[in-house]
Structure 1
């Protein structure tokens, strides 16, 4: 075990760039800890950013996180493949308060030109997972020091999850590995480059959408375009699905559920005068309502059958369920909102409901919790977007996230 970094929090200037000091004992300590270790925490983020790894390949990222935890006296519990978790504070009948960070990167080339730009060609943290990881890592180290000096008032579990960017998400594996055993509530953040740094976006209920993928293959005997009546028109059949299915869904599903079908790929044919034998169509189904999501596969199959039945074609439909919507629990969201407001009432913003997917939703199928949007736009110049190679985040967001989670601990301590 390496020598543990020294702490100078007691002598630090406790002024905070974005927030004022929180009122609770833990949040005050965490705020001061961050101000004393600001450069170190930023260094962690830049190392992770410089060495991104795609889903289920986060070997070095896991090793780096474990190394820092061990330096601070925290015992990491490694997952079977990649990722890890750690426990702090007391065990209790009420269970532990959990904080989750996703650690994987995307197969996207970084084009920011930053001095700490990705060294792995074609891979980058263009979704902000380096920020999420650093926030929970910083929180863990601060809470460990608080626990040794004062004793944490509640048990805490930190989860560094692999493979969020896979279709069904790595959260299901993490749950199967027992990460939620003994957990009563769970919280997470997501970097938001459309929100000014220092602002925290909160929302009760659905904050993301379910995201499924549909793949349709249509088959016919093929033929000459001069004799369509002697064949089955695969291209016409695909076109009917593209044009009819969204309208049919709009009459079968409540429009207030944010249900959207968009096709992104269609392939068929090889000559202007030849009717092809096969054609394929792929797209995404997005829903903000979990009840609609649970019944969509059956409804979608029924509607495809109705559209294609008169056309004399055969077909094969593959419906791939992704993740359910993130449904932020009312009580957990109230605690998250109170945690932010306890630091600065002006920081709280109402987050919009996103049509993107997030596998944090799987945790919320088991325990209540809430995800917040963490503002990371500097307030000047271009607003970047997620999943783009030019994403730049304002690193002051690291302190905002760490202090927010420290304040969440205070909220639950007060409720004990």
Structure 2
């Protein structure tokens, strides 16, 4: 094969039935974060059969498959996530989850299959010069102490050097097979804040003898609405949402305490720091003004996902070559959701790509969601072509 011929979607047509079978198997047997033993074994066995040097149990159930072709010392990494969600599936599909209360409602079964499809094609053609590391990651949905953190802590980039790293996520609401790219901040940092307001319980008829944590909590909720509107630059994006407020059990009793939980999202480290400082100060001041006290547990989640300029432009060019500019959105709008791929991008340059899962289809984390199989060959061809182009002799 000429080094100037790069993978086309049509090159994967003969693999479509096998990819469908793999994806449906993974969908039918979902495993939650930290529990991906069978998925990991299934993936590793496939890769080993195709001739990859497979390393298992990287950062838990992580798998890294390495393949070298030619003589170049250049390297590149591509990552897919493998875990499912604690959701009861309502799709009615013949390959629906057989595990009660667990399903692939975010498409990680599809992401894994797409990268396996690329692995199969790269092993078959070996149309590149260098080493590719295919990273199959567990526990993306964990929220903290995630698979990316664990794999990095287990020496991922020391053991498997990558000049750049790339990842992909499907995106319902965007036409199937349409790629989205954005350099700079693409996905938000996500922090969780848990508050426990300590008041003084009493009789509902004698509020003057109590310190009402429901009133204090309500005041905190209202005060927090000023954080984004009055403390964050209007040209920046941020979200502070109180999603849980629990207190009391009876209408005639003022309870002892109240619990509030909130999600805090931001697109820059500076705004993230501002949000934490203002939330802490406001919460303490509100509680103190009513004679209450408050415990604040500020739990840092995934950081802002920041795509590097050069790698994003490179990936965009690969997509335009593959599917045409009419099927590429650049810049793609920022996404308030979060992704632990951000940790990789703190270590290496790279790009996280969005791939349309179809218009009018259920959204992510929905009990009726399903990955669009039309994307299997498109995604696999994209990863194959990207590796071929990144590790081509023309770029040496």
What interval of TM-score do these two structures reach, taking the shorter chain for normalisation?
over 0.9
The partner residue of 2:162 within 154, 165, 183 is 183
Give the alignment's TM-score, normalised by structure 1. 0.88
Which residue matches 1:320? 299
Deviations 1:335-373 (A, max 9, x none): 110000112222211322111111111111111111111
Tell me the SS of whatever aligns to 1:255: coil
Which residue matches 1:6? none
Tell me the SS of whatever aligns to 1:40: helix
1:256 and 2:235 correspond: yes
1:163 and 2:144 correspond: no
Deviations 1:175-197 (A, max 9, x none): 11122232111111101121111
Residues 91 and 258 of structure 1, relative CA distance in 2, 3 Å threshold? farther
1:346 and 2:326 correspond: yes
Q: Distance in 2 between matches of 1:207 and 1:249?
A: 19
Residues 143 and 294 of structure 1, relative CA distance in 2, 3 Å threshold? farther
Which residue matches 1:275? 254
The partner residue of 1:359 within 324, 330, 340 is 340
Tell me the SS of whatever aligns to 1:27: coil
Aligned length: 388
The partner residue of 1:305 within 284, 295, 301 is 284
Which residue matches 2:350? 369
Q: Distance in 1 between matches of 2:282 and 2:269?
A: 20
Which residue matches 1:206? 185
Mind listing any 5+ residue stretches in structure 2 that lack a counterpart?
none
Which residue matches 2:102? 123
Q: Distance in 2 between matches of 1:173 and 1:95?
A: 25
Deviations 1:176-230 (A, max 9, x none): 1122232111111101121111211111122211111111001122222333333
Q: Distance in 2 between matches of 1:298 and 1:95?
A: 43
Quote the RMSD (CA, aligned, Å). Answer: 2.1
Tell me the SS of whatever aligns to 2:296: strand
Counterpart contact for 1:79–1:177, Cα < 8 Å: no
Tell me the SS of whatever aligns to 1:89: strand
Deviation at 1:153, TM superposition (A): 1.6
Counterpart contact for 2:85–2:104, Cα < 8 Å: yes
Deviations 1:39-83 (A, max 9, x none): 111111111111111111001101100111121111210125312
Residues 268 and 303 of structure 1, relative CA distance in 2, 3 Å threshold? same
Q: Distance in 1 between matches of 2:28 and 2:318?
A: 32
Q: Distance in 1 between matches of 2:193 and 2:171?
A: 28
1:288 and 2:267 correspond: yes
Which residue matches 1:76? 54
Q: Distance in 1 between matches of 2:256 and 2:73?
A: 61
Tell me the SS of whatever aligns to 2:357: strand
Deviation at 1:295, TM superposition (A): 4.8
Counterpart contact for 1:293–1:324, Cα < 8 Å: no
1:40 and 2:21 correspond: no
Which residue matches 1:19? none
Tell me the SS of whatever aligns to 2:174: strand
Counterpart contact for 1:106–1:123, Cα < 8 Å: yes
Deviations 1:240-265 (A, max 9, x none): 11011121342112233321111111
1:173 and 2:153 correspond: no
Residues 297 and 92 of structure 1, relative CA distance in 2, 3 Å threshold? farther
Mind listing any 5+ residue stretches in structure 1 that lack a counterpart?
1-9, 11-22
Residues 56 and 237 of structure 1, relative CA distance in 2, 3 Å threshold? same
